[in-house]
Structure 1
Amino acid sequence: MARLFITGSSTGLGLMTAALLAEKGHAVVLHARNDERAKAAMAALPAAHAVVEGDVSTIRATMRLAEKANRHGPYDAVIHNVAVGYREPQRIETGDGLPHVFAVNTLAPFILTALIERPKRLVYLSSGLHRNASADLDDITWEKRRWDGTEAYSESKLHDVLLAFAFARYWPDVLSNALEPGWVPTRMGGPAATDDLDQAHRTQAWLAVSDDPAAVGTAGYFYHMQPREVHADARNHPRQDRLIEICERLSGLKLDLR
């Protein structure tokens, strides 16, 4: 059986994915933002192997979370599920002076990937909105543009695909893929969402543990366990490299490419 770490797994799709994997006998390590959420997550899923706490909105806190997660590893797979949505009406700054959406949705997955002991598989949650995003990385932290919460979210979900494909290229011994769960009625998606909630968590679990031929490839993008069209610039190697360089500069981390 596999050992897995799932970020943002105290509620929503993360917890649903964890429950599905635990039901199949896998050892699942949950992640919650604080102690209250951690207790609630363990109460909701007593079969979980452990839960680690950590805020991923700041660089230092995300680094501490990676350290805590490593105590329960190594992992067969890490699922980068944590995210904030598209409803932020203004550019909310974190303690590092970065937009909250970028810090949680883009920089945190980079930091955790860089610092958690390298797993066999990486899974990044994106969104169908990524296909409408600008791939221009010149103002990635929204210092020059007028804030647009939907666009900032869409860009961050494109960044997640760029990260997945970059790590697939850098680390050929790791299966690194991305997916969209669909617009589903979770706390983030809202009650008007129209996709099937029962299907939304299955692709990430499948990519994390399945031996199906389609699940053991790398640099794939999926929806409901089927390949799906990806942003035209997602497979652009220079753009992937530039995003990695930006994340390295902002976080102060240098990625190990060995």
Structure 2
Amino acid sequence: MPSVQRPLPSGFGRTTTAEEALAGTDLSGKLAVVTGGYAGIGRETVRVLSGAGASIVVPARNVEKARDALRAMPQVEIHHMDLADPSSIDDFARDFVASGRPLDLLINNAGIMATPLAHNARGYESQFATNHLGHFQLVARLWPSLERSGQARVVVLSSGAHRFSDVDFDDPNYHRRVYDKFMAYGQSKTANALFALGLDIRGEAYGVRAFSVHPGSIATELTRYVPLEDLQAMGFRDENGDVTPHIAALYKTVEQGAATTVWCAASSQLDGLGGVYCEDCDIAQPMPADTTELFGVLPWAMDPERADRLWLLSENLTGIKFLGG
């Protein structure tokens, strides 16, 4: 069953770096798959895990860009995969499973943010389809390799933006309601947290534990679809396009942004635990739905009943049933 959603406390904090979070951890002989592992906090995640001895597989939509970004890192393989393309997910996973290797760490890091309204070939809204459904399909297809490990962890990157929106189970793909790109992003991030919860409930008996992560606010390529005027309207940029002092004080470095991911992936502090939403290298504080604070996790992102509804919805939308489906 999922662990209680409350801080340990871990002794770490918002300024902890990924190297500090993993200090002294030997990952020799471990194998990790990191989506989006060639840019931003994904690249830093790969660098630190590799430095601790892990072998890494990075599925990449842009293989040449990934090769350039990861060229200097040891024990890193790059293979093509596009989370927006179900057939490419199947191709990548089929080849990985056929290799017979156990998968110890699966880090669902890739994502898109605040994109214009678009639907994929199956009619699914692009942020929900990429950030959640693509990763749901990837976990399902890689399940034999995760189970083979016997002590695997799955880390799903959520966000503090989960507070923007619950999952709209009646219209998740914006076929009827008016599209709001930030609400759609928030819905996908709530889905990420609920997926980790649902996966942990189902996977614990097989030795697979799952965690969701809020990495913090980091200046990365994730905001490439957000126009400057939108960032200014939200107070993220001033009239000159510069980051405002208030927002700058909230930002983390890339090294700090990857810390909670690697902590959830490999820290012995989380042995025997799972199903929790984490931030600042600790289990996050549960917060009431009407909170105005920018930390912690809201009730709709840690609700087992919603996690079950999302699991069923995801099975129906992808046509993939696993773990008792």
The alignment's TM-score, normalised by the length of structure 2, stands at 0.73
CA contact (8 A) 1:10 1:31 kept: no
Greater alpha carbon shift after TM alignment, 225-234 vs 148-157: 225-234
CA contact (8 A) 1:180 1:223 kept: yes
CA contact (8 A) 2:166 2:300 kept: no
Deviations 1:163-218 (A, max 9, x none): 00001111112221111011101111477463211210011111111212x46510
SS in 2 for 1:233: helix
Report what 1:154 is aligned to: 186
- Deviation beyond 6 Å, 4+ runs, structure 1: none
Report what 1:132 is aligned to: 164
Equivalent in 27, 34, 49 of residue 21 of structure 1 = 49
**Residue 208 (1) aligns with residue 265 (2):** yes
Report what 1:100 is aligned to: 126
**Residue 247 (1) aligns with residue 314 (2):** yes
Deviation at 1:85, TM superposition (A): 1.0
Structure 2's unaligned 5+ residue stretches are 1-27, 225-241, 285-295
CA distance in 2: counterparts of 1:126 and 1:151, whole angstroms: 14
Deviations 1:64-84 (A, max 9, x none): 222234337321110000100
Q: Which has the larger radius of gyration?
A: 2
Report what 1:225 is aligned to: 281
Structure 1's unaligned 5+ residue stretches are none
The residue identity in structure 2 corresponding to 1:143 is H
The alignment's TM-score, normalised by the length of structure 1, stands at 0.91
Report what 1:115 is aligned to: 141
SS in 2 for 1:118: helix
- Closer/same/farther in 2, CA of residues 169 and 180 from structure 1, 3 Å limit: same
Report what 1:185 is aligned to: 219
Report what 2:9 is aligned to: none
CA distance in 1: counterparts of 2:268 and 2:209, whole angstroms: 12
Equivalent in 177, 180, 183 of residue 145 of structure 1 = 177
SS in 2 for 1:188: helix
Deviation at 1:31, TM superposition (A): 2.0
CA distance in 2: counterparts of 1:48 and 1:96, whole angstroms: 36
Count of aligned pairs: 254
SS in 2 for 1:51: strand
CA distance in 1: counterparts of 2:306 and 2:162, whole angstroms: 15
Report what 1:47 is aligned to: 74
